[in-house]
C-alpha cells in the first residue's frame, strides 16, 4: 500500500509497502498549488441528519458543518487553538470568559455578524426548545451569557473550568444568523430551511440520500483563507467495496475515515495515496455496570490478557497503535512533557497472562458468566476485535462472546440506559472533542459524566477533576490530570484497545487538506485544491 507519512506538510513524504512508522504521523498534506472548479468527496458514515450546528454531534454532520459554520475559536491542524469569530478572549479567572467579537464579518446573505448574533447563538445551547445535542456536560456549567459591549460577549460559569474556551472550536461556539434562524422555524437545518453562517462555504444543492454541494463563499471575511475549490460535492457512500471502487477509479477525489475493509484493495490504486494522520481517536470497550464485566478486577485482567498490538497490526492493518491509556497518544495541546512522562509511568500494552490471572484473583463476581460485548453487526471488524479479546479471556479462564446488533439499535447504547440493560459491555470508536485530556477523562470518570455509562463514581477523582479545572497553570493542570489518568487505568470503566490513525485517501490531482483529526471542527474543504500533478 502506498502510505504517505510525515510530521508536517513541508517534510519528506515516504511511500512504502512495509508497515508504517506511526511515531511520526502527518498533520497536513502538501499545500495546494492551484484552484479547482469542482472536487468530489465522500462521507463513509452516511448522510447528515441536519446542518444545524447544535445538532452536529457525529461524523457526517460535523464533517460538513465544519466548512459552513464557524466558532469563536478555531482548532488548527496541529491541535493548537487560535481566534476565530472572536478577535480575542480574556479570562480574568477560570469562571469568566470575555469574547471580543470580530468586526467586518458577514453572513452568506451579506448581513453583518453582530454581538447580538453571538449572544443568541451561544444561548441556543441553553434553550430546551432548541434541543441542542451539546446541552449536557460543559454547557450545564454555564451560568450566564450576556452582551457586555457593542462588540463584547461575556460568559460566566457556575464553577471554574479551564477547558471551557477550547470548546469554542466545537459547535458549542458556532455562530448563526439570529434573524434567519427565527424565520426558518422547524425547517432550520434541513434541506428546506438550511442554515445561515459565515464560513468559507455555503450550502448548495442537497440531494437527499445522494449528495450535498458546498459552494465557495467569495465574500469570506478571511481573504487569506478563501477556499481554493469553487464547489465540493460530498457523497454519502457507506459500502466499503463501493467506496474503494469510487476512490481507486477517481469517481471520488478523497475521503476521511477510509473503511478498514477498503484498505487492501486500495493498495493497487495508481492514481491516489493513503495518508495516515495524527489522531485523537480511541477504540475501547465500555462497561455497562452489568454482569461479570462490572467487576474492575475482571476488566483489568481482560485488558492485560488482550493482545492489543495484534489488533493494531491485523484488524487495523498497521494503521493503529495499541492503547496504553484512555487518553489517545499525543492527545494534548499543552503540558507535553508532563503528559508524556505520565504516559510512560503506565503499564505497557504488551500481553501479560500471568499478571492477568493474578489480577483476576481480586474479582468478587461469578466468573463462570459469559461476558457479551455488543457491536454494530454491519461493521465486522469489531467482531474481529472482540474475537481477540475472547482469546485472551480463554487463556485466563473467562468466556467472552461478541453480540452483533443492527446499527440502528446500537446507537441507543450511547443515549438510553434501558438499551444497555442486560448487556455487559459495548464497543466504541470514540474521540476527543478538544485536545485536552482533562476534558475527555471528565466525561468518562466524572460522576454523572456524559460518557460515564456504568455510573462510575470516585470522590477522589471528582476532587481532582475540580482542582484541575480551576488550575490556570497548564503544567499544574497536566500533573493533576495525570493523577486522574492513573486512577482511571486502575479502575477501567473503559478498556482502551487501540489508538487509530486518521485514514485519508486523496486522488493525485488534489491535495492540501489536513491529515490530522481536525476535520470535524476545522474547514478542511477550504484547503482542498489542485496538486499540479
Measured from the Cβ of residue 384, the count of other Cβ atoms closer than 10 Å reads 16
- Write out the three cell numbers for 456: 462510575
Task: Assess contact for 491 and 446: CB atoms under 8 A.
Answer: no
Give DSSP secondary structure letters for 235-263: E----HHHHHHHHHHTSS-EESS--HHHH
Domains of the chain: 30-66+199-279+502-530 (3.40.190.10), 73-182 (3.90.76.10), 281-500 (3.10.105.10)
Give DSSP secondary structure letters for 454-492: T----HHHHHHHHHHHT--SHHHHHHHHHHHHHHHHHH-
Reported pTM: 0.93
Render pLDDT for 83-137 as a digit per residue (tens, 0 to 9).
999 999 999 999 999 999 999 999 999 999 999 999 999 999 999 999 999 998 8
The span from the first CA to the last CA of the chain, in angstroms, equals 20
* Nearest CA-CA partner of 299 in 286, 283, 318: 286
Average pLDDT over residues 242-256: 96
Render pLDDT for 450-462 as a digit per residue (tens, 0 to 9).
999 999 999 999 9
Average pLDDT over residues 226-234: 98
- Write out the three cell numbers for 258: 477510509
Confidence of residue 19 (pLDDT cuts 50, 70, 90): low
Average pLDDT over residues 315-321: 96
Confidence of residue 532 (pLDDT cuts 50, 70, 90): confident
Q: What is the pLDDT of residue 18?
A: 54
Percentage of the residues of the chain whose pLDDT score is greater than 90: 92
For residue 3, the cross-strand partners are 274
Q: How far, in Å, are 8, 241, 399 from residue 396 at the CA level?
A: 43, 38, 9
DSSP tag of 315: I
- Write out the three cell numbers for 514: 489536513
Distance CA 490, CA 345 (A): 13
Distance CA 308, CA 284 (A): 11
Amino acid at each position: 500500500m502506498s502510505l504517505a507519512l510525515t510530521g508536517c506538510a513541508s517534510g519528506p513524504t515516504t511511500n512504502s509497502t512495509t508497515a508504517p512508522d506511526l511515531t511520526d504521523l502527518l498533520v497536513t498534506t502538501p499545500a495546494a498549488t492551484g484552484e479547482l472548479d469542482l472536487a468530489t468527496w465522500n462521507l463513509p458514515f452516511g448522510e447528515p441528519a441536519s446542518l444545524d450546528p447544535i445538532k452536529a454531534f457525529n461524523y457526517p454532520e460535523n464533517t460538513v458543518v465544519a466548512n459552513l459554520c464557524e466558532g469563536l475559536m478555531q482548532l488548527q491542524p496541529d491541535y493548537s487553538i487560535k481566534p476565530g469569530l472572536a478577535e480575542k478572549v480574556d479570562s480574568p479567572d477560570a469562571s469568566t470568559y470575555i469574547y471580543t467579537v470580530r468586526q467586518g464579518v458577514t453572513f452568506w446573505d451579506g448581513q453583518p455578524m453582530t454581538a447580538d448574533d453571538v449572544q443568541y447563538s451561544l444561548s441556543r445551547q441553553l434553550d430546551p426548545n432548541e434541543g441542542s445535542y451539546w446541552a449536557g456536560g460543559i454547557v450545564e456549567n454555564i451560568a450566564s451569557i450576556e452582551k457586555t459591549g457593542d462588540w463584547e460577549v461575556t460568559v460566566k460559569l457556575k464553577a471554574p473550568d479551564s477547558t471551557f474556551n477550547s470548546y469554542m472550536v466545537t459547535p458549542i461556539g458556532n455562530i448563526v444568523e439570529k434573524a434567519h434562524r427565527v424565520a426558518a422555524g422547524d425547517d432550520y437545518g434541513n434541506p428546506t430551511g438550511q442554515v445561515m453562517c459565515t464560513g468559507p462555504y455555503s450550502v448548495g444543492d442537497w440531494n437527499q440520500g445522494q449528495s450535498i454541494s458546498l459552494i465557495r463563499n467569495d465574500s469570506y471575511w478571511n481573504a487569506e483563507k478563501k477556499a481554493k475549490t469553487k464547489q465540493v460535492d460530498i457523497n454519502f457512500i457507506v459500502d466499503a467495496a463501493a467506496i474503494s471502487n469510487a476512490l481507486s477509479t477517481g469517481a471520488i477525489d478523497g475521503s476521511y475515515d477510509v473503511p478498514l475493509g477498503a484498505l487492501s484493495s486500495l493498495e493497487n490504486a495508481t492514481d491516489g495515496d493513503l495518508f495516515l494522520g495524527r489522531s485523537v481517536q480511541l477504540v475501547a470497550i465500555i462497561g455497562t455496570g452489568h454482569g461479570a464485566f462490572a467487576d474492575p478486577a475482571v476488566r483489568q485482567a481482560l485488558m492485560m490478557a488482550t493482545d492489543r498490538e495484534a489488533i493494531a497490526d491485523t484488524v487495523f492493518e498497521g494503521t493503529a497503535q495499541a492503547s496504553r491509556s484512555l487518553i489517545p497518544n499525543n492527545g494534548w495541546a499543552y503540558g507535553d512533557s508532563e503528559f508524556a512522562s505520565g504516559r510512560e509511568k503506565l503499564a505497557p500494552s504488551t500481553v501479560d497472562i500471568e499478571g492477568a490471572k493474578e489480577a483476576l484473583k481480586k474479582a468478587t463476581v461469578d466468573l463462570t458468566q459469559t461476558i457479551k460485548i455488543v457491536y454494530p453487526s454491519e461493521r465486522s471488524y469489531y467482531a474481529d476485535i472482540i474475537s481477540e479479546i475472547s482469546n485472551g479471556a480463554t487463556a485466563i479462564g473467562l468466556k467472552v462472546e461478541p453480540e452483533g446488533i443492527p446499527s440502528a439499535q446500537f446507537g441507543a447504547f450511547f443515549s438510553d440506559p434501558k438499551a444497555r440493560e442486560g448487556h455487559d459491555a459495548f464497543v466504541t470508536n470514540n474521540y476527543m472533542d478538544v485536545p485536552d485530556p482533562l476534558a475527555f477523562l471528565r466525561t468518562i470518570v466524572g460522576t454523572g459524566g456524559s460518557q460515564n455509562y456504568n455510573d462510575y463514581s470516585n470522590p477522589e477523582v471528582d476532587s481532582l477533576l475540580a482542582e484541575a479545572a480551576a488550575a490556570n497553570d497548564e503544567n499544574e493542570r497536566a500533573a493533576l490530570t495525570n493523577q486522574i489518568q492513573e486512577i482511571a487505568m486502575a479502575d477501567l470503566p473503559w478498556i482502551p484497545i487501540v489508538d487509530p490513525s486518521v485514514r485519508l485517501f486523496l486522488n493525485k490531482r488534489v491535495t492540501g487538506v489536513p491529515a490530522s483529526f481536525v476535520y470535524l471542527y476545522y474547514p478542511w474543504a477550504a484547503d482542498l485544491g489542485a496538486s499540479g500533478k
